[in-house]
């Protein structure tokens, strides 16, 4: 068959696929099921035309269909990587991570249990060796990503059910293919089956695939950042990635290419979005979706065309074997979901899965292209006996057809019967609020439209009447206030704010100047806010919002580099990025305030909107407090950063204006391209932003401390030169009781807590501490802990003695404060001993 014939046949099949979509919608059947039926009919028709004696006119056409070179390699190397990658890159990684134990159990343990149960059950009734039955079990044990993902998304299954079965279908191919390879090797070589060797091989292939996929995904993400301005290059690299890691693992490293592809897709799902311009990322997802649509369609049509040929020697005995295999497969999945999952749920290893969800997951274990591809691999292998080839071909094909034509067509009625097609109670209650706002806007806008174009009033009233009637009916539904508790309504509002915050962060007008790692970190914190809301309401939301300000091991490490080794660059880079992040966070919080006032307030009501506004103001106050401290500490850097934000916004606004004029037809495409290039050149020529100067302790900053209030400009300058900056995150200890006194501290921003006996004294901006041990020539008498993100100015012991020498009045003032604090400490210790 020449290349031109293959291209022609493939093109015609794609046209058939496109024509099938309206049929699927009209019949209400899942698209994949209709594709499978059409493919089987095409295969039957081609066989009939080729063998009939009525006419020879269509033999050449029939041969084009029958002889199209469809092999296991076609499915597994050309089509499967794109299906897996597109499914992985569009899945919600954060939500998947919450169910990762359940997904791994379904993808690994469930597959192993299934192949043993299916193989054992078939062995009891079929005249085949045990290893052949286990080979068949491995072939049909894996759910098919092309079938499952398309099916569950088409049916609109609940999000968690879809996530579980998608995650399982993406990962379980590796387990099944590894077991398949081991059993096929036993059949070909005739050696004994070594389960320990099979297990070792499986673990090695899975772990290696994860490593290659992770490295490939991270490397690609870095390359995408470098190519941020080149959409075509970014999409090309993204499309090529799954094939690179798949072929590299399968052919050269003997690892799981399936797991490598899925891992790479999940990595890009987690960190890839920030590497693209927003419109480029949407275009990339659309491109991948179109490629996956073609791959899915060809997988089903081509696989289904092979069905008549694979079932040529079908007998009644094969029906018995098939029914036993189907029953065993359902039992095997039930053993995991109803036997293992409850135990793990009780031990809090996995989240609880409801009985209706378990039932749908059991019945939704569809097989398709992967099953047929593995069966084809057996029939193509000349070293396998013909009887084994026939058994595998018939049973695997029959099994795949049963899951598609029986389970696939009944899955939607089953979900309706179990109530899984219904909205959640919160969504049902919130529906009335959304409809009220939407219908009111439609009615108002419809009258404005009619007035603008002077349409007939009677026609306008007729068009508005249905919306008024619906609005009246919806207005009678008070379920939002009656069904939902205050906590549930607050949860709805906070999640809406978090989702909007994520959208704003991905908007280049606000986040365009941020490095990709900062955007990734911010998006993770937003996801943590959503999780916090679900677990602990408002407190969980605020706790997650404050988490980025807490101490990390990396921050402690670079702080030590700065304070002990005087290596300041890492800390300066960290503070610069933190400055950028805080500035963008402030802008986004202000935008969220506007969003709350004009979009959410009408949906949630004034009282709840006021409460949400208070929560946003808490976050905004904290962010502005940190920003003010940084601006005071690093005024030059702050000014440069503000300028870069303004310049970035101006550039995007200029490009938007050019784009609008082009879309309106005011300017030509050539002129628009020239103007965009000019704007880009001006933007690119802007000077790079200055780095944070760790030595930038200014006299202006010191004037904020009362203890320096009486000093002149020259004296303040001398003091500023001797101060060193120390930065502490929340809960980090500045020093502990009993340590040697090496200096004193001034609080530029933040707050600390001094622990003396049972007393806890808090100091804030403008205060100082640590002077008592220096004046008394003693060790620390108390522990001091930072209770927020604090910027402290450290005055070493030698500098303290020097300044005290040329500013005796300043030392006397410190000594006076120290006497008062010492007396307070003695009272606190005395009270503690009496109690």
Q: Mean per-residue pLDDT for 394-413?
A: 84
Measure the CA–CA gap between 702 and 803, rounded to whole angstroms. 14
Please determine, for residue 323, whether its predicted confidence score (pLDDT) is greater than 90: yes
Nearest to 791 by CA among 699, 718, 701: 701
Please determine, for residue 695, whether its predicted confidence score (pLDDT) is greater than 60: no
User: Highest-confidence range of 468-482, 762-776, 818-832, by mean pLDDT?
Assistant: 762-776
| Residue 433 phi, psi dihedral angles, 5° rounding | -65, -45
Q: Mean per-residue pLDDT for 80-104?
A: 78
Please determine, for residue 210, whether its predicted confidence score (pLDDT) is greater than 70: yes
Helix 110-125 crosses helix 316-334 at what angle (to 10 degrees)? 150
CA distances from 51 to 114, 303, 306 (A): 40, 21, 16
Q: Mean per-residue pLDDT for 495-511?
A: 79
Residue 587 CB neighbour total at 10 angstroms: 17
Beta bridge partners of 362: none
Q: Mean per-residue pLDDT for 424-443?
A: 74
Q: Is 793 helix (H, G, I), strand (E, B) or coil?
A: strand
Please determine, for residue 829, whether its predicted confidence score (pLDDT) is greater than 60: no
Measure the CA–CA gap between 96 and 101, rounded to whole angstroms. 10
- pLDDT (tens digit per residue) in 236-260: 999 999 999 999 998 899 888 888 9
Predicted pLDDT of residue 246: 93
| Residue 634 phi, psi dihedral angles, 5° rounding | -130, 70
By the 8 A CB rule, do 388 and 304 touch?
no
Residue found under tokens 């399982």: 168
Please determine, for residue 151, whether its predicted confidence score (pLDDT) is greater than 60: no
Measure the CA–CA gap between 212 and 145, rounded to whole angstroms. 21
DSSP symbol at 741: P
Q: Mean per-residue pLDDT for 638-664?
A: 84
> DSSP readout, 492-531?
HHHHHHHHHHHHHHTSHHHHTTS-HHHHHHHHHHHHHHHH
Q: Is 335 helix (H, G, I), strand (E, B) or coil?
A: helix
Instruction: Give the neighbor-by-neighbor strand order of the sheet with 768-769.
Output: 724-728, 790-796, 743-749, 768-769
Q: Which residues contact 158 (CB under 8 A, 6 or more apart)?
A: 357, 420
Measure the CA–CA gap between 579 and 727, rounded to whole angstroms. 13
Measure the CA–CA gap between 8 and 23, rounded to whole angstroms. 24
Q: Which residues contact 701 (CB under 8 A, 6 or more apart)?
A: 632, 633, 720, 748, 793
Please determine, for residue 473, whether its predicted confidence score (pLDDT) is greater than 90: no
Percentage of the chain lying above the pLDDT 90 cut: 11
> Residue 108 has which token pair?
């690994």
Predicted pLDDT of residue 216: 95
Q: Which residues contact 88 (CB under 8 A, 6 or more apart)?
A: 170, 261, 262, 263, 264, 265, 266, 269
Q: Is 685 helix (H, G, I), strand (E, B) or coil?
A: coil
Q: Mean per-residue pLDDT for 2-7?
A: 76
Strand 783-786 versus strand 752-756 pairing type = antiparallel
Q: Mean per-residue pLDDT for 191-203?
A: 73
- Mean pLDDT is lowest, of 46-55, 104-113, 135-144, 358-367, for 46-55
By the 8 A CB rule, do 340 and 105 touch?
yes
Residue found under tokens 């040329």: 806
Predicted pLDDT of residue 687: 53
> Residue 123 has which token pair?
């062995």
Measure the CA–CA gap between 580 and 518, rounded to whole angstroms. 9
Chain-centroid distance of CA 333 in Å reads 28
Q: Is 191 helix (H, G, I), strand (E, B) or coil?
A: coil
Q: Which residues contact 401 (CB under 8 A, 6 or more apart)?
A: 36, 40, 307
In 620-735, which ranges are E strands? 724-728, 733-735
Nearest to 243 by CA among 88, 82, 72: 82
> Residue 201 has which token pair?
């091989």
> Residue 193 has which token pair?
């089956």
Nearest to 513 by CA among 569, 571, 582, 592: 582
Measure the CA–CA gap between 686 and 641, rounded to whole angstroms. 12
Please determine, for residue 89, whether its predicted confidence score (pLDDT) is greater than 60: yes
Nearest to 358 by CA among 342, 376, 332, 338: 338
Please determine, for residue 644, whether its predicted confidence score (pLDDT) is greater than 60: yes
Q: What is the 3-state secondary structure (H, E, C) of 11-76?
A: HHHHHHHHHHHHHHHHHCCCHHHHHHHHHHHHHHHHHHHHHCCCCCCCHHHHHHHHCCCCCHHHHH
Beta bridge partners of 232: none
- What does pLDDT average to over the chain? 80
- pLDDT (tens digit per residue) in 697-708: 566 677 777 777
User: Highest-confidence range of 16-30, 95-109, 613-627, 702-716, by mean pLDDT?
Assistant: 613-627
Please determine, for residue 165, whether its predicted confidence score (pLDDT) is greater than 80: no
Q: Binning pLDDT at 50, 70 and 90, where does residue 148 land?
A: low
Measure the CA–CA gap between 780 and 736, rounded to whole angstroms. 7
Please determine, for residue 150, whether its predicted confidence score (pLDDT) is greater than 60: no
Q: Which helix (H) or strand (E) holds 599?
A: none
Predicted pLDDT of residue 618: 92
- pLDDT (tens digit per residue) in 437-451: 787 888 888 888 888
How are the residues of the chain apportioned to helix, strand and coil, as percentages rounded to the nearest 5? Answer: 75, 5, 20
Q: Binning pLDDT at 50, 70 and 90, where does residue 788 land?
A: low
Burial of 456 (0-12, 13-18, 19+ CB in 10 A): exposed
Q: Mean per-residue pLDDT for 583-602?
A: 89
| Own/partner long-range contacts of 757-766 (Cβ < 8 Å, ≥24 apart) | 757/825, 757/828, 757/829, 757/831, 757/832, 758/828, 758/831, 758/832, 758/835, 759/828, 759/831, 759/832, 761/824, 762/787, 765/629, 765/704, 766/704, 766/705, 766/706
Predicted pLDDT of residue 832: 52
- pLDDT (tens digit per residue) in 254-276: 888 888 998 999 899 888 877 88
Q: Which helix (H) or strand (E) holds 669?
A: helix 669-684
Establish how many alpha carbons lie within 13 A of residue 101's alpha carbon, considering only the half-sphere containing its beta carbon: 15
């Amino acid at each position: 068959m020449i290349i031109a014939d293959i291209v022609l046949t493939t093109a015609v099949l794609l046209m058939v696929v496109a024509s099938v979509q309206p049929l699927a919608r009209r019949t209400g059947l899942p698209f994949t099921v209709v594709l499978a039926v059409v493919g089987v009919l095409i295969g039957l028709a081609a066989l009939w035309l080729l063998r009939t004696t009525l006419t020879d006119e269509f033999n050449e056409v029939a041969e084009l269909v029958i002889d199209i070179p469809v092999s296991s390699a076609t499915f597994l190397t050309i089509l499967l990587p794109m299906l897996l990658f597109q499914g992985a890159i569009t899945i919600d990684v954060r939500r998947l991570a919450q169910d990762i134990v359940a997904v791994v159990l379904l993808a690994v343990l469930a597959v192993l249990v299934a192949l043993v149960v299916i193989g054992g059950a078939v062995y009891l009734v079929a005249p085949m060796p045990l290893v052949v039955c286990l080979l068949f079990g491995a072939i049909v044990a894996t759910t098919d990503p092309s079938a499952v993902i398309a099916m569950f998304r088409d049916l609109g299954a609940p999000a968690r059910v879809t996530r579980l079965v998608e995650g399982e279908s993406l990962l379980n191919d590796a387990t099944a293919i590894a077991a398949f390879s081991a059993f096929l090797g036993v059949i070909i070589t005739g050696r004994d089956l070594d389960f320990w060797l099979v297990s070792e091989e499986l673990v090695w292939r899975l772990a290696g695939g994860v490593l290659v996929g992770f490295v490939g995904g991270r490397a690609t993400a870095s390359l995408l950042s470098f190519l941020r301005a080149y959409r075509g290059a970014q999409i090309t690299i993204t499309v090529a990635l799954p094939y690179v890691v798949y072929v590299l693992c399968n052919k050269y490293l003997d690892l799981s290419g399936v797991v490598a592809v899925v891992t790479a897709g999940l990595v890009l799902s987690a960190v890839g979005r920030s590497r693209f311009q927003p419109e480029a990322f949407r275009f990339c997802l659309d491109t991948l979706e179109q490629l996956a649509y073609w791959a899915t369609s060809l997988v089903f049509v081509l696989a289904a065309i092979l069905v008549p040929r694979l079932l040529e020697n079908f007998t009644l005995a094969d029906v018995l074997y098939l029914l036993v295999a189907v029953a065993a497969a359902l039992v095997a999945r039930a053993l995991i979901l109803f036997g293992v999952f409850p135990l793990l749920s009780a031990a809090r290893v996995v989240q609880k899965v409801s009985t209706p969800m378990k039932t749908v997951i059991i019945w939704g274990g569809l097989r398709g292209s992967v099953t047929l591809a593995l069966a084809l691999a057996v029939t193509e292998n000349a070293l396998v006996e013909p009887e084994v080839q026939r058994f595998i071909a018939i049973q695997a094909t029959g099994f795949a057809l049963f899951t598609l034509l029986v389970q696939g067509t009944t899955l939607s009625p089953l979900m309706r019967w179990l109530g899984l097609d219904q909205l959640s109670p919160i969504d049902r209650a919130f529906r009335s609020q959304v409809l009220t706002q939407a219908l009111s806007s439609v009615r108002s806008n419809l009258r404005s439209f009619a007035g603008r174009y002077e349409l007939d009033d009677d026609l306008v009233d007729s068009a508005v009447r249905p919306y008024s009637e619906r609005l009246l009916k919806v207005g009678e539904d008070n379920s939002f206030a009656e069904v939902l508790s205050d906590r549930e309504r607050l949860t709805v509002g906070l999640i809406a704010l978090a989702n909007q915050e994520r959208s704003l962060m991905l908007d280049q007008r606000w986040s365009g100047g941020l490095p990709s790692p900062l955007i990734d970190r911010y998006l993770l914190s937003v996801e943590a806010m959503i999780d916090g809301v679900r677990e602990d309401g408002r407190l969980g939301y605020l706790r997650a919002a404050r988490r980025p300000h807490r101490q990390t091991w990396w921050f402690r490490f670079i702080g030590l580099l700065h304070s002990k080794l005087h290596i300041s660059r890492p800390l300066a880079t960290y503070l610069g990025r933190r400055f950028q992040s805080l500035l963008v966070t402030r802008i986004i919080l202000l935008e969220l305030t506007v969003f709350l006032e004009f979009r959410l307030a009408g949906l949630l009501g004034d009282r709840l909107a006021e409460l949400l506004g208070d929560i946003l103001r808490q976050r905004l106050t904290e962010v502005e407090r940190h920003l003010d401290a940084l601006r005071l500490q690093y005024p030059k850097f702050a000014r440069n950063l503000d300028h870069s934000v303004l310049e970035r916004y101006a550039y995007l606004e200029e490009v938007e204006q050019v784009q609008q004029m082009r879309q309106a037809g005011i300017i030509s495409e050539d002129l628009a391209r020239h103007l965009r290039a000019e704007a880009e050149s001006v933007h690119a020529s802007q000077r790079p932003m200055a780095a944070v100067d760790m030595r930038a302790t200014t006299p202006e900053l010191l004037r904020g401390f009362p203890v320096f209030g009486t000093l002149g400009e020259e004296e303040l300058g001398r003091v500023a030169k001797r101060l060193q900056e120390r930065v502490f995150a929340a809960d980090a200890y500045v020093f502990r009781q009993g340590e040697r006194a090496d200096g004193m501290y001034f609080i530029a921003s933040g707050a600390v807590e001094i622990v003396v006996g049972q007393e806890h004294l808090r100091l804030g901006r403008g205060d100082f501490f640590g002077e008592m041990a220096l004046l008394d020539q003693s060790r620390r008498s108390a522990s001091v802990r930072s209770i927020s993100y604090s910027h402290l100015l450290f005055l070493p012991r030698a500098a303290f003695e020097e300044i005290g020498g040329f500013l005796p009045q300043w030392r006397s003032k410190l000594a006076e404060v120290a006497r008062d604090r010492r007396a307070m400490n003695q009272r606190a210790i005395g009270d503690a001993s009496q109690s």
